[in-house]
Copies of this chain bind each other. A is one copy, B any other.
Amino acid sequence: MLNISVIGGGRIGRIHAGNIAASAHAALAGIADFDPAVATISLDDAFKADAVVICSPTPTHADYIERAAAAGKPVFCEKPIDLDAVRVRACLAAVDKAGIPLMVGFNRRFDPSFAALQSRIAAGEIGAPELLTIISKDPSPPPAAYVAVSGGIFRDMMIHDLDMACFLMGEAPVWLSAAGSKLVTPNGADFDTASVTLKTGSGQICVITNSRRASYGYDQRIEAHGARGMLRAGNQTTTTVESATSAGFTTDPALPFFLERYAAAYRLELAAFIDCVQTGRHPSPNGADGLRALELADAATRSAQTGEAVSLS
């Protein structure tokens, strides 16, 4: 049994804590939090567990990872490691030096439908991917206070899709162009509607669109097109019930938000982390994946602000 502590008892932290508690291979050492009403252990004690799951606010991630590295503890950290790529590189250097396993919380890789998409593409079912379309929309915009410290839509929201693009294409982008608009919150501090086009060295093209608003639920879809065909993964609904009236045939809207949509993904990513720690297998996605996604998000931010395409080294 792996004794795992959770740092940060917010929404995601409680999900991971619950999955640890329910796992046959792990036990919950406790939750560390600044709020004494939430915390069950101290921060110091959190680093005495066999492994640490970091779900605290983003600005603390790199520090806690380094502290775990110093203590020689395997770490699972919610994305992003930091909003500053320089800081991420320093943190990853510390991780490398300590030789601890670090897994980064790109949970969508573990969504059963997206994972099946990846494995079927990798197995050659559609041939080499040529066009990838990722559509990702939140049901409603976050509070302005959150937006202000989020790093912007590309680093906060699209970073998941940028990682997914790399995961599915199996090749690094060499060119990127982004567009951003303020349509949901016209006077907001950040773009709320955005697109990115990526092109890889072999010529694969990936188009990602994001919106901070979707009246019909959490819209999460991917399609991959290749020489032999297309594979796509669609939205999920609460029930399969369909009604038929003079207005037409109507199914449920999409699941409300990420807690519902990615419930299985959260469970499976934690199981993968536990398995890595116990078997010595290398975690995936790892720190390099986190850094690459952040660098793409940085480039996209720059592109959307200047209106110019960006060549990636």
Contacts and interface: CB of A to CB of B under 8 A. Distances in A.
Given A131-B211, A179-B197, A307-B175, A245 B225 contact: no
B193 A116 contact: no
A116 B241 CA distance: 7
Interface in A223-246: 225, 227-246
A250 interface: yes
Given A182-B203, A195-B197, A214-B225, A248 B239 contact: no
Contact of A116 (B181, B205, B239): B239
Interface string A269-313: 000000000000000000000000000000000000001110100
Contacts of A213: 227
A193 B181 contact: no
Interface residues of A, number: 72
A130 B253 contact: no
A157 B225 CA distance: 18
A113 interface: yes
A209 B225 CA distance: 11
A204 to B, nearest CB: 7
A135 B135 CA distance: 13
List the number of copies, as a whole number.
4
B250 A113 contact: no
A25 interface: no
A87 interface: no
B253 A251 contact: no
A131 B179 CA distance: 11
Nearest to A182: B203
B253 A247 contact: yes
Given A112-B238, A183-B204, A247-B253, 5 more contacts: A177-B197, A183-B202, A193-B205, A235-B240, A249-B250
Interface of A: 22, 112-113, 116-117, 120, 125-126, 128, 130-131, 133, 135, 137, 175, 177, 179, 181-184, 193-195, 197, 199, 202-205, 207, 209, 211, 213-217, 219, 225, 227-254, 307-309, 311
